[in-house]
Amino acid sequence: MLEIKDLHATVAGRTVLNGIDLVVPAGEVHAIMGPNGSGKSTLSYVLAGRPGYEVTRGSVHWRGVDLLALPPEERARAGVFLGFQYPVEIPGVNNVYLLKAALNAARKHRGLPEVDAFEFLNVVRDKMKLMQMDEAFLSRGVNEGFSGGEKKRNEILQMLVLEPSLALLDETDSGLDIDALKVVAQGVNTLRAADRSIVLVTHYQRLLDHVAPDRVHVLARGRIIRSGGPELAHELEARGYDWLLGAA
Amino acid sequence: MSQSVSSLPSNRDENWKYASLRALSNARFDALPTPDEGAIARAATLLTPRPDGFVRLVLVDGCFAPSLSDPLPRGAVRSNPSRIETPDDMDHLFATLNARHAREALHVTTDREAALQLEIWCITVSAQTDGAAHPLLRIEVGAGGQLDLVERHASAPDTPTLTNLALYLTLARDAQARIVRTQACDLRAQHQETLQIDLQSGTHCELVQITDGAAHARTTAFVRHSGRESRLRWASAALGRGTQVQDAYVHVDHAAPGARTEQFFRGIANDRARVAFNGHMKVARGATDCNSDQSLKCLLAGNDAEADVRPQLEIHTDAVQASHGATVGKLDDTMKFYLLSRGLDPEVAENLLKWAFIADVIARIPLPQIRTQLAREVASRMPGAPPFGVES
């Protein structure tokens, strides 16, 4: 279970999160929606431990572990995965190396033996088929020269390989055409499991047509101002955010 | 009697601004003694497997070592260094000292349209500080010929000795050369080298240089496009750690029409190291339709590190295309966070990014089997680096 209490955070001295309370039980998919600048991406970065995002108050526990006490790499090894809104290009470091290094870091943390190159390729090939990605992507630099859609597929591929227990997907649907959206959604749905929590940060209902959320939360001005079932996303699609912002 | 020199360059000399010269102030330039069997045996331990198809020639303490070398190829001789003449200026001082003190020159001449694959090792094993190794190489590639040259510089552990190399390379009309140079001397060593390359009409020279050894290392290079339509692709990487100084001055003279140069440098200054690259592009009067492109970048990866990259253009004619870019920066925080968010250790993440920074130089190594080997060697010398090679 992910348990966030009274979370406040600043970025470059500016307060962005103003007291977030959120619980995401294991096995559930929660969507976080909200207008631009509401703090959605900041929340993702704070949970993943990005330097420069300073928590000034509150707590975050994941499976009882104080997440905020861990550096980003230990959060990742503990099962936290952040799918970036803007995946970073790293020319010179190829995908296959990063994926294998990341997988083995997680396995080592869990006390499992590292996978060798043969085992790894077997694992990754299946996932690539699911994501409809050509194997040539493996030998390319991380996200180097990828289209926006390819980058997002690559993020989901990494998630499928790493099998995190907490997946935070920051606007994974942005920049995707309908077909790519379906592929990405299929990847997310594949990962749904009773012992796993998924947080989808999104602007739009359309991703939620393919990945049915258990709960929907509206984030505005750094706080969650409304929570509800999947119907809340439809209401937001129809009415926008203004009616909520006025009441908040 | 040992001989020092009364007037070395100083940091006030424009082309020596970033060099480390203090250690040279008391240096003795007399040639080291001819290596004995023990020295040859120590040098042998530093050799790596010979690339397939290459002729291996080895110099130890500046002297040709037949027992470690293949038979001299056709056109190769050991000759008297006194025939070498060098310009009388400060930038050629070390070449002059080399010519004066070298025990011999290794002189390789290839026939017209002949191909030669040559691996040359210059290894310094003497621990004497009252002398220097002066490897002297002269290579002349015949018209239409093809040279693949792998030039390796190394020294035995814990040797503070000075190596002062001079390399003279001439490509006759329409000849081609693919050159890979590495310098991985002991971290106490001093390494000076002077290169003079003459590119005649229609020649094509690809040179990749990787330096990460020696306490103080300096490359002084003069490349002259003496013939029309000659091409030079120069790519180098310099890695400094501890208090190392890696300094290079590369002067490229476009003396004939249609000459083209692409210069690419990537340096990484770790810890308290200093890495500098001064790329001086000259286009002579009347050398029309020349093209020069410089991309010089350095990564500051230590709180007390220093990096200097300096593109210089000296153009004496119109109708020239010249572009240059030079940057000094730190590791990208977003890239690093991306790797950390995938569970990589901070040290591994940083080394991966450093690797990525120089990967474009490695990728430019024009000989595939050498590229793979050197990628692994360089990766193995990056502290804390994961066991990745060219495939990563």
Is B359 touching A (CB cutoff 8 A)? yes
B20 within a domain of the structure (yes/no): yes
Is B352 touching A (CB cutoff 8 A)? yes
DSSP-assigned states of every residue in A144-207: TT--HHHHHHHHHHHHHHH--SEEEEESTTTT--HHHHHHHHHHHHHH--TT-EEEEE-S-GGG
Closest to A220 (Cα-Cα) out of A47, A74, A37: A37
Dist. CA B217–CA B209, nearest whole Å = 13
Instruction: Give the three-state DSSP class for B294.
Output: strand
Residue A59 pairs with which residues in a beta bridge? A5
Question: What are the E-state strand segments in chain A?
Answer: 2-11, 14-24, 29-33, 53-62, 65-66, 80-83, 90-94, 141-142, 166-170, 197-201, 215-220, 223-228
Q: Which residues of B touch A88 (CB under 8 A)?
A: 334-335, 338
Say yes or no: B354 and B216 in one domain. Answer: no
Closest to B138 (Cα-Cα) out of B177, B92, B60, B81: B81
Closest to B56 (Cα-Cα) out of B144, B118, B108: B118
Say yes or no: B280 and B365 in one domain. Answer: no
Please state the separation of Cα B58 from the chain's center in Å: 17
Closest to B222 (Cα-Cα) out of B376, B390, B15: B15
B264, B299, B331, B342: best to mutate for the A interface, most A CBs within 10 A: B342
CB contact under 8 A, A73 and B346: yes
Say yes or no: B366 and B282 in one domain. Answer: no
A44, A46, A97: best to mutate for the B interface, most B CBs within 10 A: A97
8 A C-beta contact, residue B255 and residue B225: yes
- Please tell me the total count of domains within chain A: 1
* pLDDT tens, residue order, chain B (392 aa): 345 566 788 888 888 888 888 778 888 899 999 999 999 999 999 999 999 999 999 999 999 999 999 999 999 999 988 777 777 788 889 999 999 999 999 999 999 999 999 999 999 999 988 899 999 999 999 999 999 999 999 999 999 999 999 999 999 999 999 999 999 999 999 999 999 999 999 999 999 999 999 999 999 999 999 999 999 999 999 999 999 999 999 999 999 999 999 999 999 999 999 999 999 999 999 999 999 999 999 999 999 999 999 999 999 998 899 999 999 999 999 999 999 999 999 988 999 899 999 989 999 999 998 998 998 888 887 755 555 544 43
8 A C-beta contact, residue B271 and residue B304: yes
B303 within a domain of the structure (yes/no): yes
Please state at what angle helix B346-363 crosses helix A95-109, rounded to 10 degrees: 160
Say yes or no: B88 and B189 in one domain. Answer: yes
The last residue of a domain, from among B330, B349, B379: B330
A67, A90, A162, A165: best to mutate for the B interface, most B CBs within 10 A: A90
Q: Which residues of B touch A116 (CB under 8 A)?
A: none
Domain with A108 in it: what CATH number? 3.40.50.300
Closest to A106 (Cα-Cα) out of A83, A78, A70: A78
B275 within a domain of the structure (yes/no): yes
- Please tell me the total count of domains within chain B: 2
Say yes or no: B50 and B105 in one domain. Answer: yes
Indicate the residue of A73, A88, A96 with minimum beta-carbon distance to B343: A73
Q: What is the pTM of this model?
A: 0.89
Dist. CA A204–CA A156, nearest whole Å = 18
B353 within a domain of the structure (yes/no): yes
Say yes or no: B207 and B105 in one domain. Answer: yes
CB contact under 8 A, A102 and B342: yes
Indicate the residue of B337, B342, B348 with minimum beta-carbon distance to A51: B337
DSSP-assigned states of every residue in B97-138: HHHHH-S-EEEEE--TT-EEEEEEEEEE----SSSEE--EEE
Other residues' Cβ atoms within 10 Å of the Cβ of residue A147:
10
Dist. CA A7–CA A47, nearest whole Å = 10
Count of CB pairs separated by less than 8 Å, A with B: 86
What pLDDT, on a 0 to 100 scale, did the predictor assign at position B389?
Answer: 44
ipTM strictly over 0.90? yes
Say yes or no: B90 and B215 in one domain. Answer: yes
CB contact under 8 A, B341 and A90: no
Say yes or no: B305 and B339 in one domain. Answer: no
Q: How many residues comprise chain B?
A: 392
Say yes or no: B244 and B343 in one domain. Answer: no
Determine the distance in angstroms separating the CA of B387 from the nearest CA of chain A, rounded to an integer: 10
Dist. CA A73–CA B339, nearest whole Å = 8
Is B387 touching A (CB cutoff 8 A)? no
CB contact under 8 A, B345 and A97: no
The last residue of a domain, from among B330, B356, B375: B330
B8 within a domain of the structure (yes/no): no
Say yes or no: B299 and B339 in one domain. Answer: no
Dist. CA B254–CA B233, nearest whole Å = 13
Which stretches in chain A have pLDDT values below 50?
Answer: none
Residue B358 sits in which domain range? 332-392
Is B331 touching A (CB cutoff 8 A)? no
What pLDDT, on a 0 to 100 scale, did the predictor assign at position B84?
Answer: 72
Say yes or no: B363 and B292 in one domain. Answer: no
Q: Output the six-digit token pair for B146.
A: 């093809």
Indicate the residue of B342, B348, B353 with minimum beta-carbon distance to A158: B342
What pLDDT, on a 0 to 100 scale, did the predictor assign at position B4?
Answer: 55
Q: Which residues of B touch A49 (CB under 8 A)?
A: 340-341
Residue A119 sits in which domain range? 2-247
CB contact under 8 A, B340 and A84: no
B2 within a domain of the structure (yes/no): no
Say yes or no: B269 and B339 in one domain. Answer: no
Determine the distance in angstroms separating the CA of B346 from the nearest CA of chain A, rounded to an integer: 8
B7 within a domain of the structure (yes/no): no
Is B74 touching A (CB cutoff 8 A)? no
Q: Which residues of B touch A98 (CB under 8 A)?
A: 339, 342, 344, 352
B6 within a domain of the structure (yes/no): no
| A205 φ, ψ (degrees, to nearest 5) | -70, -25
Terminal CA-to-CA distance of chain A, rounded, Å?
27
Q: Looking at chain A, which residue has its C-alpha nearest residue B332?
A: A90
Q: Looking at chain B, which residue has its C-alpha nearest residue A80?
A: B341
Dist. CA B139–CA B170, nearest whole Å = 6
Indicate the residue of A52, A87, A92 with minimum beta-carbon distance to B359: A92
Determine the distance in angstroms separating the CA of A114 from the nearest CA of chain B, rounded to an integer: 14
Indicate the residue of A71, A92, A105 with minimum beta-carbon distance to B360: A92
The last residue of a domain, from among B279, B309, B330: B330
Q: Output the six-digit token pair for B374.
A: 């050197």
Report pLDDT digits (tens) over A190-243: 999 999 999 999 988 889 999 999 999 999 999 999 999 999 999 998 998 988
